[in-house]
Each structure stands twice: as C-alpha cells, then as structure tokens.
Structure 1
C-alpha cells in the first residue's frame, strides 16, 4: 500500500532491519525447533511443545534478549519443565547442538537487497538497526558483504520508540525525517511510527509469532510493500 500523496516530502534517512529483511534468519530457528520437537516427542506432542516454548521465550526476553543463545536457553528450560526434570542429558546436548547450528548458518541475502541499497545510497543516509546477540549479528553482517553500504550500524537489545528516537537523532535528522523498513510490525514498524517516523513493512515468508501484529493501515506514515524492489519508488515520493 503506497503512502498518501499528501505525506510531507521530508525523508532524509532510511533504517533497515537485518534478519528476514536483508537476509534469511527465521528458517534456521524453525529448523532448530523442529529438531527440538523430535527430541521431546516422548514428553509432549509437537504442537503443544511449540506453544510451551513460545511462552518460555516470551517470558525470557527480558532476561536473555533476542537471538540464538536466548532461544537455546528457552528450549532447554522448556525441556526441563515439560519433562518434570526427567529429560536425559544426551537430549540436552542435542538441543544445545541445534542452537549452535543457528549461530553458524550461512547468510543468504533476500531478493533485491543489493540493488535497492545501491539505488538509495547517496540519496539518503542508510542506517542498519538490528537487535539480537552482538557477536552473531556482527558475524552475519560481515558474511553478508553489506557493511560498507551503511552510513551507521546499530545493534540494539530492544526496539522501542525511544530506541528509534535515539538512533535517528545520533545518525540523521531525527525520527520524524526517517523511515524504518523491516519484516516485523512489532519491532520495526509500530515503534517507529510511535517515534514519529515512517514505518514500512516488508513481509517475510516466515515471521516469529511474537513479531506479528495487525498492520496500522490508518496511519498515514505506514506503508506495506511486497519486497525491497518497491522501496526506491516509495521513498522517492517523500523527498523534496
């Protein structure tokens, strides 16, 4: 959905999420969860186990943050809980191995990433704003080959309105003249809108349940696009 023609042409900076916006990520968490469900099948059916794991993840975010290490800890905690402490040590070792695999997966860029960044570079300040484990996010960024495309890089523990106000105040002309682009309505779009900026949703084929929300279609600073190829045309209408 394009932004209304009446939107003020004030855009000067664009922030990009990383995981499942620039490169695939959630598919590796899904693979680890499938392995976890196979390992724990004697204790709970896969559907029920997945629901319990999601509850554990939501509870642990404030303690462990986001990323593969947090996910691995949540899998182990869930395994202990649903088994009443009877989960065998070899199963715990397998769960840890599944978590480590997430930390070494290859980085595969999503379609149109390179061309889109090339088209926007020099016209707007490009800022990477991603959350998660610092070491893992740095690894993926280096493997992506995209580091030099960005004017600034921020790896943050959470994405709140104040996060975006602070990031775009430091690296650009404030959130009001910036757009955040990402696959998560919860983390990339809604808090950016609350900060006074523009939020553009680029859906991914797999999105973590805790990152889903209803699109804020009534907000004039919201847009939804099918993929990143549509972004240059969208933002060009916001620049005077």
Structure 2
C-alpha cells in the first residue's frame, strides 16, 4: 500500500509502540488519527487525536464517525495497539484486573475493528494490524489473564483475515517479545531494558507489512530480541 494521504488510525498512542507507529506513518505521508485516553506530544498537521476509551463501544463508534467526517475518507489502516497486562497467580488475581485486560485487549480491539471494516470494504482496500504478544503464542507463568487475551487476539486475527481477504483487506498479527516500554514498569523479573527491542523496531515492521505488494499478505509475524540477556561474558 502506498501510505501517502491514506487515513490511518492508531490506538494507544501516548507512548511506546503506538507513538513510534504514528511517527513512522507520518514520515510516509499518511494522515493519522490517534484514539485513546491520553494524547501524545506530537505536533504535525497530518496528525489529530480523539480522546476515546476503547473499552466503550459508543466512544469508539463516535471516534470513528468523527474521524471519517473530519477527513472525508474511510479508514485505510487500523493499528490495534492499545493494551495492558497485569501479573498475578490465577487464583489470586483480582477479578477487576481480569476484566480490565479483556475489556481493553479483546473487546476494545473488537470495537475498533468492527467500526472500520465497512469503510474498508467500500474502497476495496484496507489493512488491520493487531499487536499481540509472544504471550499469545506461549503460556507465561503468572500471566494467565494476559495470555488469555493475547491468545484471543491471535484467534480473532486468523479468523478475520479469512472473512475479509476477498474484499482486499489484510489482517496481520504481530507477536513481539520484550519491548522497551512502560509495560514492564511493574513486572517482576523483566528483561533489562537495554536488552529489549525498541518501539521503533516494531514500527519498522509495521511499515514493512503495510507497504507490501497488494497480493502479498503477512498473516503472523513473531519478533524477539536476539540477545534478551545481553552479550555473553567471555
């Protein structure tokens, strides 16, 4: 896809992967709108922010309507990046935390995706990128709830691409390992930040996928730091 002047929506843009993706898209000439609770520190004539809690279906629908009305074009790119994780043994984790993860990581993704598909179908083109996690491929101790949400994202992505591929719409699911964002601020035994991937690394993968030839479809992409524990000592 040629991204110049294409309408792109990114969720969770205040920092990390979302912010890096917005900057990368703007550099390629896309017109980008961020949906989320906190605005990023970006000043660019091709960027706008709509405050919306993606856990609220009506808020998402309103954000979508405002985006299309303001820009006068359907959304061509959706990057479902917003997400959160909480550690805890399954029998000890607060039920509220479990629901919060599902409401954000699964239901929010569903609301955003559901909103943009009709417009993508109308223009016979679109690309939905879902940011999952390696926790969507492998179980992780003390992360049962988070893993459950990211496995759900994987299943949703693989089913959806079969539903929309004949309409020229691609669905790609990216499974990052540890990325140097505030996601790990309160996690036990997290990889040292200097050994993690950077948000810009994931943004480069997003651009690569988006700019692929029309009939070339990346379905699943797993990315990890090469040396998560750093260089070995000699």
- Interval of TM-score (by shorter of Structure 1 and Structure 2): 0.3 to 0.5
User: Who wins on radius of gyration, i.e. which is larger?
Assistant: 1
More helix by share: 1
- Structure number with the bigger relative contact order (C-alpha 8 A, sep ≥ 6) is 1
More strand by share: 2
